């Protein structure tokens, strides 16, 4: 494994840890952006150019701003009165550690059977044309469904978060 | 149609931009130190004391009546009266200011001192580049620095100076005429008693009293 | 150790961190942040398997990841919309306080 | 000889890199190219600052800076020196880490956008297949740095300015993307080099630039509007509305950090003009076939400076839009029009050559423009004011 992989995954994991552990919620959101950037760089390292840039565009460009706006709208940036962690933080950590242990065990044991072991094939050069063709040929149905889902979700989100008129007066 | 206004606006600024290289009225900047705007006659910056003739001490019109000192809103004039007297343009003996200071940094160029001065002694100068490095002493002008000749007054405010001079000359003439008349009357009085000495004593004091009154009247009028 | 396991381990670690965040934090938005991290970890798995898998030209893994990014964005929008409207009614984003179903 | 002049920078790099050992060469090429970008565009930034102040002056019947150096040419140096030597205040209650990171993040992200811009014939730093997507991915993260700046200064004005800036940048980013999608649809590739090559074709000596097609012209107008809003310039410079918001999100910045924001804004403007030139004005292709002998990079920088002059011209002319007018304009006019432009581009593509497609496309666009302009943008009659108190 080359040095770049360790560097980038270190960045991603550090960002994720900071996003989860920091006290100040806005700092968490900014750390989350670092984690997203790390994951996007991992995508690029894996040769998935389109997915990497889509990740940057969607997550860093929109979701991070959305999270930060939500934090400000719900006055999250002030220090919470009763502590940052929920009532049973230890059990949560224990469960997460257990999950990681199981996943890690599964990955390590199956290391030999995984396909990537022998064929150190060069990264498949995926052009945007192929993605376009795939989207329009094999994945045209999922594309339409995702389009519908996105529209419905966003309109729903706006209605849920909208300020009711009658509540104002 | 949407956007027409924007295009008209853009055309206007473009005309301005292009015009500024070509026509003079589209480039109105006067680059100050090198080029200067012609001074407008009514400009006023800081007061100065006017003196007639050549000697600033003798010809100084100011009689230290301290009206301007009292009237000055920011109180930036300081006058110390002299003990002796000197003749003014009419020849009358008047007090003159031993010391006359104006603090330029306090003066707000309101020209009230010029309006209240009965002797046309203080006028507004047009010099404004008076910056000094010394903030305190540098901007406190004493009598010597303040007094400037009548010719300078003519140079900066020609029409106003001409009016003032005309009025002063006319006053001087009237004063001399009155003085001559008073002298003639006094002469006639002196001749009359010689001709009619038996006339009773009281007539004499009457003669002397009128002689004194006109002088005072003259001073009141001057006030 | 072939490269794929490296990526899978990183993805598992990110998933565990996201889960820990979701379980231990009190503020609803930070739970959503935890969920976002878990989703991203899954995407990383998808693309890792696509890259080192037998048929990279089939683009299946990458298309899954792209669609999952789209859906995750929608989910984030709806989740935050809910958090904001809850905050407006109950004036708190503290998850422990949101235990009443009454509107 | 002409070709040598056109490729002078490429040959120069190869000559310099020739001295290095083989394994270092690819790295050296990239380092030289990055160094070239980091030198030329801040240099252009200095020229643009002077151009802006003198141009605005001339538009307002005054001369503009001419004291520093001959004809004011050293004014940018003076400005730079001033902002470097000024004291860099950080408010006590500010969040130091984020306050420091915001301008750094902005400048880094803006400069990364230049990796894909084709500055001249085979003078692109990274010839990426999804170049345009990379550019917009970088463009999308500038909003985050604006927000970091506004929030970390712990100042109401800057937070308001940041909120306005982010809202404006998001709502104008969608039309920016949509108008460039039309170009992608016609060219069939996201790579900026392919887009320029598609436009570098001449018939009767005239180039096939996209701006000369109906959908291209409409797309360019919408792209220019969205680009002006994306860089917070002229009619859309609400975030740093001096009159009401002091200086928007960079109120609490002074000294070098303020200069960084300034640099970030101008370099962002240069890069969005570069993208506009690449997408619609044929990147580095010559305006006439006969002018082909002129080096290609001269055309690119000429077009970038031309659009900078238009930015300045707009700033000298148009008053600032109100926030609701700005949002209204974005969502009710610019976005629907760019969506329609997509359909018109599709129709253009599938109607085949001939005058018919010119007539149909232009007719559709003009009618839509007039109708939408009249319906969407007419003076709203304002009913009784309704107040909403912050609960």
Rounded Cα gap, residues A21 and A14, in angstroms: 10
Per residue in C71-83, pLDDT tens?
Answer: 999 999 999 999 8
What pLDDT shows up at residue D32? Answer: 92
Check CB contact under 8 Å for C70 and A51: no
Nearest to A57 among D98, D140, D148 (CB): D140
**A118 to chain D, minimum CA–CA distance in Å?**
27
Highest mean pLDDT among A135-144, C87-96, D151-160: A135-144
Distance in Å from the first CA to the final CA of chain B: 74
Rounded Cα gap, residues D352 and A118, in angstroms: 50
- What is the radius of gyration, based on Cα positions, of chain C? 17
Query: Considering only CA atoms, which of D268, D288, D295 is closest in space to residue D2?
Result: D295
**What are the backbone dihedrals phi and psi of residue D67, each rounded to the nearest 5 degrees, phi first?**
-95, -35
**D108 to chain B, minimum CA–CA distance in Å?**
34
Per residue in A8-43, pLDDT tens?
Answer: 999 999 999 999 988 888 899 999 999 999 999 999
Q: Please tell me the total count of domains within chain A.
A: 2
Interface contacts A/C by beta carbons within 8 Å:
256
pLDDT at D378 over 80: no
Residue length of chain A = 169
CA-nearest residue to B26 within chain D is: D61
Q: What is the residue-level pLDDT of chain B in tens, covering all 223 positions?
A: 778 888 999 999 999 899 888 888 888 888 888 888 888 888 889 999 999 888 888 888 889 999 999 999 999 999 999 888 888 777 788 888 999 999 999 999 999 999 999 988 999 999 888 888 987 788 999 999 999 999 999 999 999 999 999 998 998 898 889 888 988 988 888 887 766 655 455 444 444 444 444 444 444 444 4
For residue D373, which residues of chain B lie inside 8 Å, CB to CB? 1-3
User: Which of A82, A105, A138 corresponds to the end of one domain?
Assistant: A82
For residue D51, which residues of chain B lie inside 8 Å, CB to CB? none
Check CB contact under 8 Å for C44 and A135: no
Domain ranges of chain C: 3-97
* Chain D touched by B4 (CB under 8 Å): no
Give me the torsion for CA of D187, D192, D194, D199, rounded to 10°: 70
Check CB contact under 8 Å for A127 and D147: no
Contact residues, A window 53-112, toward C, CB-based 8 Å cutoff = 54-55, 58-59, 62-63, 66-67, 69-71, 73-76, 80, 82-87, 89, 91-93, 95-97, 99-100, 103-104, 107-108, 111
> Are 3 or more Cβ–Cβ pairs between D and B shorter than 8 Å?
yes
Percent of chain D with pLDDT over 70: 96
Shared domain check, A67 and A7? yes
CA-nearest residue to B6 within chain D is: D318
Query: Does residue A148 lie within any of the structural domains?
Result: yes
Domain at B47-156: CATH architecture: 2-Layer Sandwich (3.30)
Query: Does residue A133 lie within any of the structural domains?
Result: yes
Are A135 and A145 within 8 A, CB to CB? no
Of D239 and B103, the structure prediction assigns the larger pLDDT to: B103
Query: Does residue A101 lie within any of the structural domains?
Result: no
User: Which of A26, A56, A82 corresponds to the end of one domain?
Assistant: A82
Check CB contact under 8 Å for D129 and A128: yes
- What is the radius of gyration, based on Cα positions, of chain B? 28
Per residue in A128-141, pLDDT tens?
Answer: 888 888 888 989 99
Task: Give the containing element (helix H, strand E) for D202.
Answer: strand D202-203
Instruction: Please calculate the CA angle D360-D364-D370 and round it to the nearest 5 degrees.
Output: 145
Those chains having 3 or more beta-carbon pairs within 8 angstroms of chain A are: C, D
Domain ranges of chain D: 46-376
Instruction: Domain C3-97: give its CATH code.
Output: 1.10.287.3510
Shared domain check, A58 and A3? yes
Rounded Cα gap, residues A151 and A163, in angstroms: 20
Shared domain check, A62 and A10? yes
Query: Considering only CA atoms, which of C63, C15, C58 is closest in space to residue C39?
Result: C15
User: Which of A82, A108, A137 corresponds to the end of one domain?
Assistant: A82
CA-nearest residue to A126 within chain C is: C57
Strand partners, B93: B87
Rounded Cα gap, residues A155 and B8, in angstroms: 40
Question: Residue A23: which domain range?
Answer: 1-82
**What are the backbone dihedrals phi and psi of residue C8, each rounded to the nearest 5 degrees, phi first?**
-65, -40
> Are 3 or more Cβ–Cβ pairs between C and A shorter than 8 Å?
yes
Rounded Cα gap, residues D27 and D34, in angstroms: 11
Q: What is the mean pLDDT of chain A?
A: 86
Are C76 and C10 within 8 A, CB to CB? no
Residues 6+ apart with CB under 8 A from D197: none
Per residue in D294-346, pLDDT tens?
Answer: 888 999 999 999 999 999 999 988 888 888 888 888 888 999 999 999 999 99
Query: Does residue A115 lie within any of the structural domains?
Result: no
Check CB contact under 8 Å for B27 and D61: yes
Per residue in D260-293, pLDDT tens?
Answer: 888 999 999 999 999 999 999 988 888 888 888 8
CA D108 to centroid of chain Cα atoms: 16
Q: b/e string for D39-67 if b means 16 or more Cβ within 10 A? A: ebbbebbbebbbbbbbbbbbbeeebbbee
Check CB contact under 8 Å for B2 and D314: no
Q: pTM of whole model > 0.80?
A: yes
Interface residue of A25, A29, A127, A157 to substitute, partner C, most C CBs within 10 Å: A157
Rounded Cα gap, residues D171 and D330, in angstroms: 6
């Amino acid at each position: 494994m080359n040095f770049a992989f360790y560097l980038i995954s270190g960045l991603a994991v550090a960002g994720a840890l900071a996003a989860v552990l920091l006290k100040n919620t806005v700092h968490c959101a900014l750390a989350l952006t670092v984690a997203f950037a790390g994951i996007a760089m991992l995508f690029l390292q894996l040769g998935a150019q389109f997915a990497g840039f889509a990740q940057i565009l969607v997550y860093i460009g929109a979701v991070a701003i959305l999270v930060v706006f939500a934090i400000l709208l719900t006055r999250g940036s002030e220090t919470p009165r009763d502590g940052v962690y929920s009532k049973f933080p230890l059990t949560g950590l224990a469960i997460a550690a257990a999950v990681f242990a199981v996943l890690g065990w599964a990955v390590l044991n199956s290391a030999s059977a995984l396909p990537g072991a022998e064929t150190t094939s060069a990264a498949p050069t995926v052009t945007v044309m192929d993605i376009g063709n795939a989207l329009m040929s094999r994945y045209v149905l999922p594309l339409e469904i995702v389009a519908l889902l996105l529209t419905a979700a966003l309109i729903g989100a706006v209605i849920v978060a909208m300020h009711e008129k009658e509540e104002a007066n | 149609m949407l956007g027409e206004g924007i295009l008209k606006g853009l055309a206007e600024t473009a005309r301005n931009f292009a015009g500024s290289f070509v026509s003079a009225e589209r480039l109105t900047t006067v680059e100050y130190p090198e080029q200067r705007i012609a001074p407008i006659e009514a400009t006023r910056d800081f007061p100065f004391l006017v003196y007639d003739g050549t000697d600033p001490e003798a010809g100084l019109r100011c009689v230290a009546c301290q009206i301007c000192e009292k009237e000055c809103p920011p109180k930036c004039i300081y006058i110390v009266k002299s003990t002796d007297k000197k003749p003014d343009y009419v020849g009358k003996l008047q007090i003159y200011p031993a010391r006359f200071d104006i603090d330029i940094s306090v003066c707000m160029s309101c020209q009230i001192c010029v309006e209240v001065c009965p002797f046309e002694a203080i006028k507004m100068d047009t010099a404004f580049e008076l910056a000094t490095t010394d903030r305190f002493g540098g901007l406190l002008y004493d009598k010597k620095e303040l007094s400037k000749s009548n010719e300078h007054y003519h140079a900066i405010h020609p029409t106003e100076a001409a009016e003032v001079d005309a009025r002063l000359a006319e006053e001087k003439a009237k004063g001399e005429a009155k003085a001559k008349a008073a002298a003639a009357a006094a002469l006639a009085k002196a001749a009359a008693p010689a001709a009619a000495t038996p006339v009773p004593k009281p007539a004499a004091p009457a003669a002397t009293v009128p002689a004194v009154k006109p002088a005072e009247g003259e001073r009141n009028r001057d006030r | 150790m072939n490269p794929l396991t490296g990526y899978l381990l990183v993805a598992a670690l990110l998933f565990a961190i996201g889960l820990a965040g979701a379980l231990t934090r009190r503020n609803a938005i930070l739970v959503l942040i935890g969920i976002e991290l878990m989703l991203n970890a899954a995407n990383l798995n998808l693309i890792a398997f696509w890259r080192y898998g037998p048929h990279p030209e089939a683009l299946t893994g990458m298309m899954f990841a792209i669609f999952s990014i789209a859906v995750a964005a929608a989910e984030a929008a709806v989740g935050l919309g809910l958090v904001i409207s809850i905050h407006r009614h109950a004036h708190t984003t503290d998850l422990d306080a949101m235990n009443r179903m009454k509107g | 000889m002409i070709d040598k002049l056109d490729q002078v920078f490429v040959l120069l790099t190869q000559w310099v890199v020739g001295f290095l050992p083989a394994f270092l060469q690819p790295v050296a090429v990239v380092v030289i190219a990055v160094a070239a970008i980091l030198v030329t565009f801040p240099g252009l930034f200095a020229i643009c600052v002077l151009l802006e102040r003198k141009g605005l002056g001339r538009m307002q019947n005054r001369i503009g800076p001419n004291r520093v150096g001959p004809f004011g040419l050293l004014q940018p140096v003076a400005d730079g020196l001033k902002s470097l030597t000024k004291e860099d205040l950080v408010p006590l209650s500010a969040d130091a880490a984020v306050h420091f990171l915001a301008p750094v993040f902005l400048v880094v992200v803006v400069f990364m956008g230049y990796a894909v811009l084709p500055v001249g014939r085979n003078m692109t730093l990274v010839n990426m297949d999804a170049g345009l997507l990379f550019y917009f991915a970088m463009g999308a993260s500038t909003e985050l740095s604006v927000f970091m700046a506004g929030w970390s200064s712990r100042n109401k004005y800057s937070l308001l300015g940041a909120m306005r800036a982010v809202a404006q940048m998001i709502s104008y980013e969608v039309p920016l993307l949509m108008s460039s999608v039309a170009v992608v649809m016609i060219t069939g590739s996201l790579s900026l080099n392919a887009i320029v090559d598609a436009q570098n074709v001449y018939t009767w000596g005239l180039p096939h630039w996209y701006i000369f097609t109906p959908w291209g012209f409409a797309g360019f107008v919408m792209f220019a509007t969205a680009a002006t809003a994306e860089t917070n310039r002229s009619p859309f410079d609400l975030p740093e509305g001096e009159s009401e918001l002091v200086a928007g999100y960079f109120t609490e910045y002074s000294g070098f950090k303020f200069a960084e924001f300034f640099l970030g804004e101008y370099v962002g403007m240069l890069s969005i003009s570069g993208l506009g030139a690449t997408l619609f004005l044929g990147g580095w292709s010559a305006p006439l076939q006969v002018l082909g002998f002129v080096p290609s990079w001269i055309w690119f920088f000429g077009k970038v400076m031309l659009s900078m002059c238009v930015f300045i011209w707009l700033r000298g002319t148009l008053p600032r839009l109100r926030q609701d007018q700005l949002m209204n304009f974005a969502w009710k006019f610019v976005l629907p029009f760019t969506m329609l432009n997509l359909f018109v581009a599709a129709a253009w593509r599938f109607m085949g050559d001939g005058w018919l497609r010119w007539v149909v496309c232009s007719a559709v666009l003009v009618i839509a423009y007039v109708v939408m302009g009249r319906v969407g943008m007419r003076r709203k009659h304002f009913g009784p004011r309704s107040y909403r108190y912050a609960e």
